[in-house]
Structure 1
Amino acid sequence: MAEPWAPSLEQVADHIPTRTRSTAAAPGDDSLLMTFNTTTTPTGEQAQRFIASAVSEVLGAVAGRIPDTPTYLRTLAQKAAALRAAADIELAYPDRDADVDVSARLDQRAKDALLRLVDAASDAASPGSEGSLLPVWSMPAVPPWPGDYLL
C-alpha cells in the first residue's frame, strides 16, 4: 500500500527538472515537462520505483511508521523521500560527469532531511526528552547547605 505522504512524480521532478525533457520532442525543443512520463528518461514507471524505494528507506529510519500528528512530520517525510529518489535517479542516469556531482549534493540534502525527520519524530514521540524543543529543568532532591563547600 502506498503511503499517503509519498512524493509524487512532480515533487521529485522539482529537484531534477532537466530529467523531464521529452525524448520525443522536436529537435531544438528544450522545454521541461516537470514530471516523468513515457517520453522522459527515466520513464514515469521507472521513477515511481525509485520513489517506492525512497519511501521504504524513510520508513526504515523511523521504525516503519510516520505518525499522523504532528502533521509536519508527513511533510518532512515527503521531502526526504523526494530528495532520496531524485539523488538515486541522477546517479542511475548520468549524462555527464556533473550529474554525479548533482547526485552527491542531492544525496547530502536527502541525508540531512532524513536526520531532521528522525529527530522531529523522536521529539514528537517523547516530549521533554533530550533534544526536545522544550527546555527541561531539574533541581537536586535535597538542596545543599548554603555556602561554598558542603560540610
Structure 2
Amino acid sequence: MAEPWTPSLEMVADHIPTRTRPIEPPGETRYLNTFTSETTPTDVQAQRHIEDAVVTVLGAVGGVVPAAPMFLSILAREAAALRAAADIEIAYPDRDADVAVYEQLNELANAKLERLVQAINDQGHGTSGSSLLPVWSMPEPPWWGDYLL
C-alpha cells in the first residue's frame, strides 16, 4: 500500500529534469518534466526507485510518518523525492558529471531525512535514540505538597 505522502513522478523529475528528455528523436532537448515510456529511466523504472525511497524513509522513522502535523508528511515526501532522484541519477549515469549530481542529491536527501527524523522526534513521535525510552509527566504538585501535615 502506498503512503499518502509518496512523491509523484513529477515531484522526482523536478530534481532531475534532464532525465525527462524523450529518447526519440535523438538529440531532443525539450523536457517532459515527468517520466514516461519515452524517457530514461522509464516511468515504471522511476516508480520502482520511488517505492524504494519511501521504504528508506519509513525505515529511518520507525515505520510510520505521523499524519499530523502536516509538515511531517511534506518533509517525508521531499526526503523520498530527493532519495529517488539521487538513486535514479547514479543508476543511469551518462557522463562523469552525473556522479557529481548524485553526490549533491545524496547529500540533500540525507539532510532532509535527518531533518524529518529530528522533526518527528521533536513532536514526540520518534523512534530513534532516547525516544524509545518512556516519557513520564506528572501534574504540578499543590503548594502544600512539600509540607508535613
Q: TM-score, normalised by structure 2?
A: 0.82
Q: CA RMSD in A?
A: 1.2
Report Cα offsets for 1:2-57 as digits up to 9, x if no partner.
Answer: 00100000000000000000012x34431000000100000000000000000000
Q: Percent identity?
A: 60
Count of equivalent residues: 126
1:107 aligned residue: 106
2:79 aligned residue: 80
1:64 aligned residue: 63
1:29 aligned residue: 28
For structure 2, the residue ranges without an aligned partner over 5 or more in a row are 131-149
CA distance in structure 2 between the partners assigned to 1:17 and 1:27 by the alignment = 17
Report Cα offsets for 1:97-129 as digits up to 9, x if no partner.
Answer: 000000000000000000000000001126xxx
2:145 aligned residue: none
CA distance in structure 2 between the partners assigned to 1:29 and 1:2 by the alignment = 33
1:5 aligned residue: 5
Q: Which has the larger radius of gyration?
A: 1
CA distance in structure 2 between the partners assigned to 1:101 and 1:87 by the alignment = 10
Q: TM-score, normalised by structure 1?
A: 0.81
Equivalent residue of 1:125, what SS? coil
Equivalent residue of 2:123, what SS? helix
Equivalent residue of 1:32, what SS? coil
1:91 aligned residue: 90
1:14 aligned residue: 14
As a proportion of its length, which structure holds more helix?
Answer: 2
Listed as ranges, the matches of 1:43-58 within 5 Å are: 43-58=42-57
